[in-house]
Amino acid sequence: MTVLHLADEREGADLSAFLSRLIHYDRAAAVRLQAAGTALAVFGRPAPFEVLAVRAVRLAKPYENGLDAVLDTTVSAGELLESVDPSAATACVPDPVTGPPWAGVLPPRGGWRPERGLPGRDALRALVAAAVAEFRSLTQTLAPERRTRGELDRIGREIWSRTVGRTPLPVRAVHAAQSLGFLRSAPEEEDREGLALLSSGAWLRLRTPYGSIAVRRAGLGALDVSVR
């Protein structure tokens, strides 16, 4: 089994936290791993949000496995989590699994351009809190006979498909970032240029010091999303 040597204990702890949050939403969650050099990218899809979450992990030394200099595989998030040892700063790559459809359509690696109009971290967190409060308020006032899955989905879709300020980013992408711990405060040196909205072709990417959320422009607002 291939062993990944992480840069330090913090990288191991952050990777464990990310995987735990994915499994919270889907116990059978899978992640796609891509490693080259000293960088490991972990892609996941938190089920309620219909977005791709990306966690970058620093490695202590360039990835190598015999003659293979690049890792690209889809594995069980649970098995990967079990293999992470933060104190030793290591993780083992589990056997591959049949990848879900999303794993075959990842955001581009390059060509990202900055988009204007993204509010600051505190404003984004306040936006999510207001959206959650609105969802709860609207669903709680429904008559019992109207509290159907279809009606809850309709309310959720209307709220979470709204865009953030004057940007094309849907609110559900910010909610995903908040739920995965990507919007927590960062040290000043990490935060200075860490929060940004980027675009490349059909993709939008909310970048933070702790990870990114990517969504496709095509179909924004057309997905069945509900948040409980």
CATH fold of the domain at 3-104: DNA Polymerase III; Chain A, domain 2 (3.10.150)
**What band does 226 get if pLDDT is binned at 50, 70 and 90?**
very low
pLDDT at residue 221 tops 60: no
> What dihedral do alpha carbons 117, 224, 175, 137 form, nearest 10°?
110
Question: Can you give the pLDDT at residue 218?
Answer: 58
What is residue 155's three-state secondary structure? helix
d(CA 14, CA 11): 5
**What band does 204 get if pLDDT is binned at 50, 70 and 90?**
very high
| Average confidence score pLDDT of the chain | 90
Domain(s) of CATH 3.10.150: residues in the chain: 3-104
61-107 pLDDT tens trace: 999 887 678 999 999 999 999 999 999 999 999 999 998 999 999 99
pLDDT at residue 190 tops 70: no
pLDDT at residue 191 tops 90: no
